Structure 1
Amino acid sequence: MENIACNLIYNNGDEDIFVGFKQRCEIQNIIYNVEKGRGRWCSQPACSCKKYYKRGFKGPVEDYPCNESTLFETWTWNPGNKFKTGEPFRMLRTGKGKIAILTTCFPSTSESERKIVGFLKIKDLVDDHHQIIGQKNQSLRLTLDEAKELDFWLYHKNNNNSSKPDWKQGRFRYLADEQVATILHDLVQVVQNASTQSMILKLLESDFPDYAIERPIVEGAIKGSYTKKVMLKRKYGKGGESPAHKKLKEYIAKNPSLIGLSSKNFIAKIEHQFTSGDLVDILFEPLNGQTNTVVEIELDNVLPGIQQAIKYRVLRCSQLKKPLTYSKIKATIVAWKLNDSERQLCNRYEIDYYEIKL
């Protein structure tokens, strides 16, 4: 069985701190959905909201007129029926224990900006594979701010492997465990509530054990990485990386011989990611069983870089499931200049250091 991604028509019912999808939309969003035809149901003559719209918003209207309006009320969802035949759409390749990723396009946004607004842990799939019933305590409704963070197309491509983010037809897509695990890792970074973070981490451990420790790297229709964006902000601050730091980092990555390494024996990985939310400036990964080398680049304030290099060496040991004293993982500092106390600290913790200024 596979996981699933659901195409939700945007609903702002009960939207405040949390994203909507609970009760019918407010009038402005009803107008938007009906006139834009963004829903398979909103613009149909039988829809309660369409009738309400045609009456000039007078008279009765259902409190829960569509699947989206009951989503976070009942923690259930179904993809609706085919208009021509009335036959229900069926999700045949998913089932109990899998994850339904909930996605939508906010008003006046393009398909490439499709966002992830939560997920359902599937407790059951009923009505002949037509209706998802979610396990509420293992499902998630994001806050409105959080729901605008993760782009769905970072994690998924269509079956033709197209780089174009294009949903076209259908109310759902199937997702591999690797894709969903990557989304869950990124959601841990997005959500602000500690209990929710803990719930997601436990879900990774129980349902995706192969990916619980290390965040998988998946390639979607659009390029980029939410996690890396967060890590870079933490590493360099609001001002970002300085041009001088970037220049030196890229120069060392292209010229490893300057720190005693051969370009034939190593792959240079700039801004290598750790699950902890840390990025090392460069990881030189060996091709033939030689020593892994984590490299931290500094300019003229070297002490923080030394402490980071110690941390990155330990993280690399953990990443490779090696003892913390593993001899084939070493740390290196490259800086414009080191003072005597900085050199002594490097020597004390067996960190190689080089003074290079471009």
Structure 2
Amino acid sequence: MSTAKISAPISGDKAYQIRARAALPILVRQAEAGVPISYSDLAEELGMPNPRNLNYVLGSIGQSLEGLSKIWKVKVPPLQCLVINKNTGLPGEGIGWFLVKKEDFSALPLRQKRVIVEAELAHVFSFSRWDMVLKALSLEPVTCDFSPVLKEASRGYGSGESGEHKALKEYVACNPQVIGLSSNTPVGVTEYRLPSGDTLDVSFTSKAVWIAAEVKSAISAESDIVRGLFQCVKYRAVMDAVLLAEVRPHVAKAILVLGGKFPKSLIPLRNLFAIEVIDGIVPPANNHECDPAHLNNTKKVDLLGVV
């Protein structure tokens, strides 16, 4: 039987109910920002080692919202459909019971699933009573004040490129697979210039996706990592505009690649911006898997095929 149907509402002392009470305010934050969140990112913010255990958590949230809908006689959208698989961009199969009240949601064609989910996401984002939902369930909104670290980040950069940054940038460009890209992905272009005047550390392209990798070495301070998050937000917007202007069928994506570990204190900010972060990437000593001389975008033809 689907966990969506057998999970109990959040007012209990089982582990998944306790986690559901912690997760629901996070999902409200994401809904108000208009941004989905992946299973793995939500699990990390909740301190859960296994994202698979979110099934009961999200089922519990769904049951609670269904209960409110009956009491209020107003449809409360299925907030849990904000939690998506990174690869498919869709929520898990358990969401089907809340969307179509059928057990055969998993059997629907992918395109039809997307139509159903996108329609519900529109309802989730436009729903204006999430604060009342939290109050009705005796929950407090999540509050994170990033003002101090944002102020520090806004003070600017250091001078010049460090050797550590250059080595990590070239290693990532030569080895797309270390950041989760296919081993068939062509070698990246470093220092790729955008029409806005910005420069991508590394630019990759596949048949359908244009990917920018913003690189921060292991010696980067927290404020520099915050700048990296904001740079990814900016690059994604500019890349979308480039693809629109050039009528290209690609999807733009910007990821933050770190030589060190991503600070736990910044997890909510990362999730709010929906930025993928890949950390702990360490170039091997004397890495010569590809020639950095071939990486720079001074070449006449770049990876998007633009002369």
Give TM-score, length-normalised by structure 1: 0.31
Say which structure is richer in strand: 1
Larger gyration radius, structure 1 or structure 2: 1
Query: TM-score normalised to the size of structure 2?
Result: 0.36
Higher helix share: 2
